[in-house]
Structure 1
C-alpha cells in the first residue's frame, strides 16, 4: 500500500475507533451499569457523571502508560541487567552504572552536557530577549522577527548540514566555501582552520547551531510577554527620568521574570536531549561527545544494552528535576 494511503487509513481507523469507543462506553454506563430509572435513578445519574470523565481519560492514560511509563520501567530494568552468551539476560544490579562511571567517554559526555547547559540556555534566552526588545522598536520589526524565527522551521539535522558548510575547510590553494574560513583567509590567515576539530572550542561552535535555532523560539515567547507589560509602568518610569536601559532592566525584565525562567527551562530540557547536531556534525569525535550520543553508541554500535540503558536513565534523572520545577511553577502561576 502507498504510504500516503496507509497513513490516511490509519487516521480514519483511529478516528472511527475513538468515536465507536466513546459511543459504546457511554451506552454501557447509561443503560447497563447505571440506568437512570428505578428507585435509585438520581443516585445512578450521579454515579454515571462521576464515571464519565474517566471514559475520556482512559485512552490518554493508556497511551501514556504504553508510550511513556512502560518504556521508562523497561529501560530501568535493562540498566540493571546484561546479555549473556546464548541470548539470555542476567541480573547485574548496578554493575552497568559502575562500568559506565569508569569510562572516560562518559565523563567527557557529562562534562560537555554541563557546558552546553551553561552556555546554550543563557545564549538563546539572552539573544531572544534582545531580539524581542529591539524588533518591537523598529518599523520593519515583523519582518525581522520572521527572519529570526525561520531557523525554528528547520530540523536539527538540516540546520547541522547548513552549519557544517559554514565551517567547511578546503586546502589553502582552493577557494573556501565555508563562510568562517573565507573571512579568515580574506583577513590574512595563513591556512584555513578546521573549526570542528579544535578541542574545547569545537563544542562552542556546535552550541552556536542550537542557539541559532532556539533564539527564534525565545524571541516569540518573550516578545508576547513584553507586549503584556502595562504601559502605565513604562510611562511612569519615563516621567521619572529613567533611561531606556533602566526601563528595560529595572521595569520590564522584572515583570517578565517568570516567562524568562519558563523559556530558560524549556531550552535547558532541549539541551539535555541534544543528539542530532553532534551526531551530524562530528559524530562525537574530537571530544564533542554528549550523553545522548554516548547512549546511542552503546545501544546501537556496541550493542551494550545495559550500559546504554543506564546512560538513558542518567539523562532522565537530569531532566526530571527541571520538569518538576517547571510544572510546579506553572501551577503556582495558575493559582
Structure 2
C-alpha cells in the first residue's frame, strides 16, 4: 500500500507540474504579446510571433529530455567504447576487436537473430489470423479482449507466469508446471524446458509472442475493417474461396500496416532483456545482447568499455529499422 500511495502521489505531482507548465507558459506568452486592444498591425505581428513560439512551448520539454536521456547517452557511449574497464584508460579499437572474437557475444548475437526471425513473424501472423477470425464471430470482441490482456502485463510479470507453466519437478513428484502436468498426464516424462539446449530459446520466445500478438491483432483488425466491402464482394462473385480472399485480396491491401507492425515488434525484439533476465539470466545458452550488455556494464564483467560497445551494436541494429518505420508511417500519412 505504501508503494501504491507513493506512485499515486508522484503521478499527481507529475500531472500537476505538466499542467502548470503548459498553462503558465501559454499565459505568459499571451501577456508578452497581447492581441486585445491593440492596433491591427501590432495584433498581426503578435499573432505571427505567438504562432511561431507556441509549438516550441510544447516541444521544448520533449527536446530537452531527448537531449539528456537519448542524445547525450549515445555520444557518451561512443566515447566510452574507446576506453577500458574503468572508463579512464584509452584503449582505442581493442574493445571492438574483442567483440567479434568473444564467444559469449557471438552466442548472444546468434540468439538475437533467432528471436528476430521467429518472434515478429509469429506475432504478426497470429495477430493477422486472429484479427480476421474474430471479426467473423459474434463473441469476437470478447476474444480480442482476452488476447489483448497480456499487453497489460509487464515482461517480468509475464515471465513469472510462464515460469510456473514451465516449472519442472523430478519424475515421481507432483508437477505444478502446467506443461509438465499435461506431459505426465499423457504418460510422458517431465522435462526441464528452460534448460533444454537450443529449444529453450524458443520457449522464451513464446512469452514475447504471447504478449505481442494482442498488439498485432488490434492494429491489423483496424486495418482489415478499412478494406472496402466492394473488393471482397467482387472476389466472392468471381468464385474466390476464403483462403484466396484472405491472401490475395485482404493481405495485399493492408501490407503497409503489416510491415509497420512487424518492424515495431522487431525493434522491441532487438532490445529484449526482461524475459531472459527473469527466466534464465542468460544461462543454458539463452544469452541475448541486452542482457550481455547489462552484465558487462553493471555486473560480473564490470567493464564500461565493453558494455558500451555492446550497447552500440544494439543501437546500430535498431536504428535502420526505426528510420524505415518512421518513413513508412510518414508516407502513409501523406497519402491520406
Task: Say whether the fold is shared (TM-score over 0.5).
Answer: yes
Q: Deviations along 1:28-64, whole A, 9 cap, x unmatched?
A: 4x27xxxx77988855654554344334432222122
Counterpart check, 1:263 vs 2:261: yes
| TM-score, normalization by structure 2 | 0.90
| Aligned partner (choices 20, 23, 31) of residue 16 of structure 1 | 20
Q: Deviations along 1:184-210, whole A, 9 cap, x unmatched?
A: 222222x31111111110001000111
Q: Pairwise mapping of residues 29-68 of structure 1 onto structure 2 (< 5 A)?
A: 30=33, 46-47=48-49, 49-68=51-70
- Cα distance in 2 between the residues matched to 1:93 and 1:73: 16
- Cα distance in 2 between the residues matched to 1:136 and 1:293: 39
Contact 1:151 1:213 in 2 (8 A): yes
Counterpart of 1:149?
148
- The root-mean-square deviation of aligned C-alpha atoms, in Å, is 2.2
Q: Deviations along 1:247-293, whole A, 9 cap, x unmatched?
A: 11111111111111111001101101111111111100000000010
| Closer, same or farther: CA 70–241 of 1 in aligned 2, 3 Å | same
- Cα distance in 1 between the residues matched to 2:267 and 2:41: 56
Contact 2:29 2:50 in 1 (8 A): no
| TM-score, normalization by structure 1 | 0.90
- Aligned residue for 2:92, secondary structure, equals coil
| Aligned partner (choices 284, 292, 312) of residue 290 of structure 2 | 292
Size of the alignment, in residue pairs? 326
Counterpart check, 1:119 vs 2:118: yes
Contact 1:172 1:192 in 2 (8 A): yes
Counterpart of 2:190?
192
- Cα distance in 2 between the residues matched to 1:26 and 1:38: 16
- Aligned residue for 2:84, secondary structure, equals strand
Counterpart check, 1:233 vs 2:237: no
Q: Deviations along 1:211-250, whole A, 9 cap, x unmatched?
A: 1111111111111111111110101111111111111111
Counterpart of 1:74?
76
Task: List runs of 5+ in structure 2 lacking aligned partners.
Answer: none
- Cα distance in 1 between the residues matched to 2:296 and 2:130: 40
Counterpart of 1:249?
247
Counterpart of 2:278?
280
Contact 1:25 1:55 in 2 (8 A): no
- Cα distance in 2 between the residues matched to 1:41 and 1:242: 64
- Cα distance in 2 between the residues matched to 1:93 and 1:37: 64
**Displacement, 1:165?**
0.8
- Cα distance in 1 between the residues matched to 2:247 and 2:65: 45
| Aligned partner (choices 199, 202, 208) of residue 201 of structure 1 | 199
**Displacement, 1:166?**
0.8
Counterpart of 2:171?
172
Contact 1:298 1:305 in 2 (8 A): yes
**Displacement, 1:8?**
2.9
Counterpart check, 1:307 vs 2:306: yes
Task: List runs of 5+ in structure 1 lacking aligned partners.
Answer: none
- Aligned residue for 2:327, secondary structure, equals helix
| Closer, same or farther: CA 77–125 of 1 in aligned 2, 3 Å | same
- Cα distance in 1 between the residues matched to 2:10 and 2:186: 56
